[in-house]
Structure 1
């Protein structure tokens, strides 16, 4: 472990990070009150509510747990320990006394099922009772991986659900014993299991354990613990199914059962991954004919920056399920609670109205038509361009790495294949229609910024040809210039900015200068100009496009977009020269 590098974290110091974190919570949410000596955060209260207060807490490093859930309909207070360490008894006792001062209905202390928390929170509760405070503790835990331990499963993200259930009951005026009894019952119907792809690290320390690139830890804990088994990486669908199979077995769920699902980000998992996991969770449960009434997802109880997630299912039994669902849906306002009115299911499925973007009449011929010979030249030129784009994938990707995201070749290859498919079935009699079709293909098959730029340019060129009187060299120059103007207008780049426009502009200028001469010579000079335009970008400073976002040292070769234009433009012109 000593040979590992300390993980970089943006903190002031490992010693002050917990207190600095709490100061940040109340800086962002000043409606809360910080009691700094005891690391306690509470709602601001001046008069007795007469109801029960709910207190949570535990070690830090699980943010937003627990201070992020202090607010209306959830916790009335939270007490924080050191990173992955239980708060001391004195701090817990202070939090209990502070809440009881303004909540004469008593205090319910929710305790995670960990030895340190059980001891320190338990001792504080007993001391509070001796001093006359009406207080009860509730030890909760729902981890499947550790469920065979003598003391039961560890407390995972399900602890947050207890905050919500108990907070809602307290807001409704339930008494202390009723709240505790209902929570104890719900714990029997709850189970959590998760995986991690990489470990977290305590501030000032290296990662707690190592994972190889193709493995995950199944059953990892929220204190940086490794799991109960190493398993091979799989797709989101496969990993979710593996986790849910164990939870379903543990809870003995079957067709017709109802659940509320909570999907917890362990800290370092992207929104994209979390959304995919949510979709796969819903699909898999429904494939087992288990009704998913709610899905709550997000950073709830994390393990610092651990890359992984947990799935928690709360079964909603026939006799109590509707009551628990009402409590989960009850109004709540806290910084980190993700449930809201939009969490409640609506009738009706999901789908697209494919009629919206369809034209309501068959498109008529637009602009001048081509002779059969002209059609063959256009079809052959486009086919050559498509082939060369596909063959140039590696080159364009290489040019795009460093100063871009390395996928220019992949994107243009998609365009090339889409053009080939188009040419297999489509007429090319009307060039304006062809360019419009290509603009649609660029939008749907290329996608991203490149697709948008190509789509804009091609659609502008299409409109220019639609109003042309003939398919002569001047009409094509007009279409060419219209395309460049549209790209500049919406893309923001101009010639000289190290983009595709540099190739288009250089070639267009030579084309314009030689437009009255011999056609073959015109095309040959344009081919040369396209190549020179692309090469010139190697010495330009990027002022637009993705390359402008990175240091100039990364942009030491031709611009990938500029070279891509040269590839397809030269392919088209060379084909015409050869077959004219």
Structure 2
């Protein structure tokens, strides 16, 4: 059975390359597009004696190579079709155009792929026949394909040398010196990567398949499968596996210095990329290899492929300092990720533990509870916590239609933390208990729910601090203070399909029955809480995450409202049983 075509946001497969290049220069007007030849150059028309630097290859690897055109990097790039080498004529056009304005000659950086070697090489030879001083350097440093007769494929070495050669050219170095530096430095680079999902050409199905729980080691940037399929591991394990092979390839030892480049193959999140950076540093530190710089981002991607590559440049004793200076040199190329912030500095991680060591409020404030009242409060909190645990699945289900399906998990964490707290906590002063619960909500629940509960509980705590006695009026004031704080900072009001619908309806019943027998007051409050949660069924959400989704997903009760009813009902039922 044929695999389905992958959906992409394009106008058509036929126009995608040209539309991409027009979009690039629309985003970065510093660049100039030569549309008939798919060439991007710097805008300068001043004739200089510098060497012009040219790179390029197939499209689908963005930002490579046009995104690296700018002062201090490439003077021009030439793009082919998706994963296809540009034709000789377009490469020759690039050389001739830049030779008009750069009398020092043209250095063409060529990725080690058959099509690029042939088309770029032929263009260089044709340029020479017209009297243009042009030379090419073939770059390849891929560890996975290093055993090939022609050497490893060109990966991150091209991006490294766009920057290093560009910096040399900006400083006035001659063509031979720049070429020789490129030839020498690429010998000290090694790249290896993995992918966990393939890419697809516009209008085509995925190029290969990867089973769930597996990854391709040594995947290429043209959608090629890797050299082997292996079981996916943690970031630490995967990075360690890759670096072990690169270190062996480069024969690195303790005391060596390196620069790392992490290439996002297209579909890897920034969260993952940052974790990979952290693991690279930790691994190299463990090997006592000095990591001088990390450059991370989309360098030479493979459309939407989910994966990454790591390239290490060994800064050897002879030339390492010079290469590092070239990498640190300024550039206005729009997609180069380096800069002042990339330069290695010691330290940079650590907390000021003194900031939160002092208590933010006075302890032992407000009315105190008798021993019996403390036992009742302990039972109330314990029962409420247990009920949240029992209702985990229900709350997750209610949350799954319009949220992220974790309301039950979140409230269960809170309940478990409360139970742990009750093992050692003093419950003599309810204002302090509420404050402690607000801190637990902040640290153990987390997220939006933790913030809402923490706000409400801290406001209730402050209200009880100024109370004169432990009576229903004091607790009602604390209750209303909690709702006011949630409305003020959360933006929700009763009727917006949130936990406030439960709290508000229960509070109204509490106020309306203040003159009734205490047991009746509690029973009606519990019933009102249940009614408030049920009333959210089909209600239009005007606040919270549910307000972002279609009404068809909010036909059941609001998860937050039901959660509030669960613990509030547990509390009043516990007090009723104690009377």
Q: Indicate the TM-score class for this superposition, using the shorter chain for normalisation.
A: over 0.9
Distance 1:378 1:499 in 2: 26
Distance 2:565 2:253 in 1: 61
Distance 2:184 2:148 in 1: 20
**Alignment-derived partner of residue 390 in structure 1:** 389
1:406 lines up with 2:426 in the alignment: no
Give runs of ≥4 in structure 1 deviating > 6 Å: none
SS of the aligned residue for 2:300 comes to coil
Show CA shifts across 1:201-251 (max 9, x none).
000001111111110011000001110100001111111111111111111
Show CA shifts across 1:255-299 (max 9, x none).
111110001100001111111111111111111111111000011
Give the drift of 1:512. 0.8
**Alignment-derived partner of residue 510 in structure 2:** 511
Give the drift of 1:387. 1.2
Distance 1:377 1:49 in 2: 86
**Alignment-derived partner of residue 158 in structure 1:** 157
Show CA shifts across 1:382-410 (max 9, x none).
11111111222111111110210111111
1:171 lines up with 2:170 in the alignment: yes
1:186-197 equivalences in 2 (<5 Å)? 186-197=185-196
**Alignment-derived partner of residue 106 in structure 1:** 105
**Alignment-derived partner of residue 294 in structure 1:** 293
Distance 1:361 1:519 in 2: 35
Q: RMSD between aligned alpha carbons?
A: 1.1
User: Does structure 1 conserve the Cα–Cα contact (< 8 Å) formed by 2:414 and 2:444?
Assistant: yes
1:147 lines up with 2:146 in the alignment: yes
Give the drift of 1:417. 1.3
Distance 1:400 1:318 in 2: 59
1:460-499 equivalences in 2 (<5 Å)? 460-499=459-498
1:226-265 equivalences in 2 (<5 Å)? 226-265=225-264
Distance 1:80 1:513 in 2: 75
Give the drift of 1:364. 2.9
SS of the aligned residue for 1:355 comes to helix
Show CA shifts across 1:327-351 (max 9, x none).
1111111111110100011232511
Paired positions, count: 579
User: Does structure 1 conserve the Cα–Cα contact (< 8 Å) formed by 2:156 and 2:311?
Assistant: yes
Distance 2:413 2:403 in 1: 18
Q: Against the structure 1 CA distance between its residues 64 and 358, is the aligned structure 2 distance closer, same or farther, given a 3 Å change threshold?
A: same
SS of the aligned residue for 1:576 comes to helix
User: Does structure 1 conserve the Cα–Cα contact (< 8 Å) formed by 2:140 and 2:154?
Assistant: yes
Distance 2:347 2:199 in 1: 41
**Alignment-derived partner of residue 60 in structure 1:** 59
Give the drift of 1:529. 1.0
Give the drift of 1:441. 1.1
Q: Against the structure 1 CA distance between its residues 75 and 508, is the aligned structure 2 distance closer, same or farther, given a 3 Å change threshold?
A: same
Distance 1:104 1:424 in 2: 81
SS of the aligned residue for 1:462 comes to helix
SS of the aligned residue for 2:141 comes to coil
1:428-443 equivalences in 2 (<5 Å)? 428-443=427-442
Distance 1:160 1:425 in 2: 59
Distance 1:286 1:509 in 2: 61
Give the drift of 1:183. 1.0
Distance 1:285 1:303 in 2: 27
Distance 2:415 2:232 in 1: 33
Show CA shifts across 1:109-140 (max 9, x none).
00000000000000000000110111110100
**Alignment-derived partner of residue 419 in structure 1:** 418
Show CA shifts across 1:535-559 (max 9, x none).
1111211111111111111112111
Name stretches of at least 5 consecutive residues in structure 1 with no aligned partner.
none
Give the drift of 1:40. 0.3
**Alignment-derived partner of residue 26 in structure 2:** 27
Q: Against the structure 1 CA distance between its residues 447 and 217, is the aligned structure 2 distance closer, same or farther, given a 3 Å change threshold?
A: same
Q: Against the structure 1 CA distance between its residues 289 and 226, is the aligned structure 2 distance closer, same or farther, given a 3 Å change threshold?
A: same
**Alignment-derived partner of residue 42 in structure 2:** 43
**Alignment-derived partner of residue 126 in structure 2:** 127
Give the drift of 1:157. 2.2
Distance 2:242 2:452 in 1: 43
**Alignment-derived partner of residue 274 in structure 1:** 273
1:73-92 equivalences in 2 (<5 Å)? 73-92=72-91
SS of the aligned residue for 1:539 comes to coil
Distance 1:426 1:102 in 2: 78
Give the drift of 1:49. 2.0
1:574 lines up with 2:573 in the alignment: yes
Worse-matched range after superposition: 360-369 or 416-425 = 360-369
Distance 2:259 2:392 in 1: 46
SS of the aligned residue for 1:220 comes to coil
Distance 1:511 1:119 in 2: 84
Distance 1:285 1:262 in 2: 13
Distance 1:454 1:72 in 2: 53
Distance 1:417 1:99 in 2: 68
Distance 1:557 1:247 in 2: 55
Q: Please report the TM-score for the alignment, with normalisation by the length of structure 2.
A: 0.99
User: Does structure 1 conserve the Cα–Cα contact (< 8 Å) formed by 2:539 and 2:555?
Assistant: no
Distance 1:421 1:207 in 2: 50
Name stretches of at least 5 consecutive residues in structure 2 with no aligned partner.
none
SS of the aligned residue for 1:356 comes to helix
SS of the aligned residue for 1:445 comes to helix
Distance 2:78 2:348 in 1: 43
Give the drift of 1:72. 1.4
